[in-house]
Amino acid sequence: MSLVAAERLVGPLVMVDFSGRSPSSRVADLIARRHLGGVVLFDKNIESTAQTARLCGELQELARRAGAPPLLIAVDQEGGAVERLPLGLPGAMALGATGSAALAEEAGRLVGRALRAAGCPVNFAPVLDVNSNPGNPIIGVRSFGEDPELVARLGCAFARGLRQAGVAATGKHFPGHGDADRDSHLDLPVVGHPLERLEAVEFLPFRRAIREGLPALMTAHVAFTAFSSLPATLCPPLLEGMLRREWRFDGVVFTDSLSMAAVRDQVGAGTAAVLALLAGADVLLALGEAELQEEVFTAVDRAVAEGLLSTSRLLQSRRRLQRLRADLSLPDRSERGPGAEHAGAEEAVVRPLAEEIAAAAVTLVRRAPGRVPLPDGPVLVVTAAGEAAPAGGAGPTLGEMLRALHRPARDVWLRPGQGWDGAPGEQGTVILVTYSRGNPSPWQVELIRRAQQTHGDRLVLVATGTPYDLAATPAVSTCLATYGREPVLLRAAARILAGASPPRGRLPVAIPGLHPAGSGVVW
């Protein structure tokens, strides 16, 4: 086999990323020389939907000139904290709080329309992880909830909406990242449940989505001891055994990023790439620096040359990718990318749906008599954002949203670790706004304790990250959960507090020891 043929055998099974808002010289070379399978776009590449459409058009033009198949261009457009196009839709747990498959499907359809207009035919969503671990540091509000049936119902609805718009849904993170207590970007999580539990919880949403025609999956860099000590991405019993042979899934399997510590620190990115293909994966996400990308290409080239990876095995994955491209009706070589002039209009279409989801999602978990709607008088809004929150002052505050509703409110923003005396002289309502991905930090818990001791029932707690923040604050008598810091969610919370809208959301997860899933004060 010639060098060119070998490079073009492997290249279509690899996706990379790059920096900047125009194609880098390196990615242009990989497309021309290796017939690269695709690219993954991140915030560093995206300014707007219209600009993204122009970028994707430039990338597809490079593939056309190289005589290569159309690129698979993918993004993580989950909604909420993980979205690349600036659409402003609430995330999965907010949808879970609505309990509405109709809203989830419409969200998928409108997200799909925006992605297709932008030239991104593959969405690395929905998240099908069942968030059964309150301390999960990386999934949390990215999950629809803790009930496998709810996750399956809403995840399948979101995927249907994407399909209606001509975008491939990618269920992740197979076979489940929801009970992990470590972030796989930083370490290898290990799940020790027996097969019976995995079938009932972790696997259920994936099996349901596959039955409904899900075209693609992304693997989890999580070890399941019922199968192996290896991460699922590298585990033949999970991918080739259970997924391919038992479940008869013949769609495309993407790896999660090979730059993540859960695989990179275990075996190295190059070895992980080879093991993933041997295990049954189809597409390698070689994301990160050029050295890592080259390590992946070199390792797979060597494995092919030495006969460890057969040509027939790689052609099997290429056939799956060809089928996916055909199903997506990607532009052929004679066509250019999407029209950037039409792409920006899709952002405006999403806004009314975002407001509708937020209004149905924000949950009044508990309230003291006479506290919601807020009584007359001054309001102090203290935002105590954790390390994972946006930079202080960078976005709209709940106080701003209240002022827009003609409720006088004063804002205080506390940086992580910053001291606060609890505002002992404040005579009106004090609203403490927290944000965390897993458990609240000791700093946040201490702030809440001090505020509750000082203000008693005049304190209102608003958890804008995971609702599990409320578990550390049982003494606070009035609490809301928004499931995110997106402006539409803060606005919906402000409307509930101001009495302009009734609370309608219900918790899609239990608050341990306090509130079961499904709880919520509604009227």
Domains plus CATH for the chain? 3-348 (3.20.20.300), 362-498 (3.40.50.1700)
Task: Indicate whether 344 pLDDT > 70.
Answer: no
Task: Indicate whether 296 pLDDT > 60.
Answer: yes
pLDDT > 90: what percent of the chain?
84
Q: Which of 181, 185, 250, 327 is catalytic?
A: 185
Which residues face 100 on adjacent strands?
A: none
Confidence of residue 334 (pLDDT cuts 50, 70, 90): very low
pLDDT of residue 474: 86
Task: Indicate whether 278 pLDDT > 90.
Answer: yes
pLDDT of residue 425: 86
Residue-wise pLDDT for 221-252, tens only, equals 999 999 999 999 999 999 999 999 999 999 99
Q: Which of 129, 183, 256, 411 is catalytic?
A: 256
CA 342, chain centre distance (Å): 26
Confidence of residue 316 (pLDDT cuts 50, 70, 90): very high
Distance CA 161, CA 22 (A): 30
Q: What is the mean pLDDT of the chain?
A: 93
Residue-wise pLDDT for 58-82, tens only, equals 999 999 999 999 999 999 999 999 9
Amino acid code (one letter) for 164 = Q
The set of long-range contacts for 298-306, using a CB threshold of 8 Å and a minimum separation of 24, is 298/270, 299/269, 299/270, 299/271, 299/273, 299/274, 300/10, 300/13, 300/14, 300/270, 300/273, 300/274, 301/6, 301/7, 301/10, 303/274, 303/277, 304/6, 304/9, 304/10, 305/6
Confidence of residue 88 (pLDDT cuts 50, 70, 90): very high
Task: Indicate whether 389 pLDDT > 90.
Answer: no
pLDDT of residue 61: 98
Q: Is 185 a catalytic residue?
A: yes
pLDDT of residue 1: 59
pLDDT of residue 269: 96
Task: Indicate whether 375 pLDDT > 90.
Answer: yes
Asked if 221 and 267 touch (Cβ cutoff 8 Å), the reply is no
Confidence of residue 387 (pLDDT cuts 50, 70, 90): low
pLDDT of residue 422: 86
Task: Indicate whether 298 pLDDT > 70.
Answer: yes
Distance CA 505, CA 522 (A): 7
Read off the pLDDT of each residue in 354-365 and give the average, rounded to a whole number: 98
Asked if 223 and 232 touch (Cβ cutoff 8 Å), the reply is yes
Residue-wise pLDDT for 167-220, tens only, equals 999 999 999 999 988 888 989 999 999 999 999 999 999 999 999 999 999 999
pTM over 0.85: yes
Which residues face 79 on adjacent strands?
A: 82
Task: Indicate whether 345 pLDDT > 70.
Answer: no
Tokens of 205: 């949403």
Sign of CA dihedral 363, 105, 75, 21: negative
Amino acid code (one letter) for 34 = R
Q: Which residues contact 414 (CB under 8 A, 6 or more apart)?
A: 382, 383, 384, 385, 392, 420, 447
pLDDT of residue 337: 45
Q: Is 256 a catalytic residue?
A: yes
pLDDT of residue 515: 96
pLDDT of residue 157: 98
Task: Indicate whether 391 pLDDT > 60.
Answer: no
Distance CA 409, CA 403 (A): 6
Task: Indicate whether 336 pLDDT > 60.
Answer: no
Distance CA 265, CA 70 (A): 33
Residue-wise pLDDT for 91-130, tens only, equals 999 999 999 999 999 999 999 999 999 999 999 999 999 9
Read off the pLDDT of each residue in 245-273 and give the average, rounded to a whole number: 96
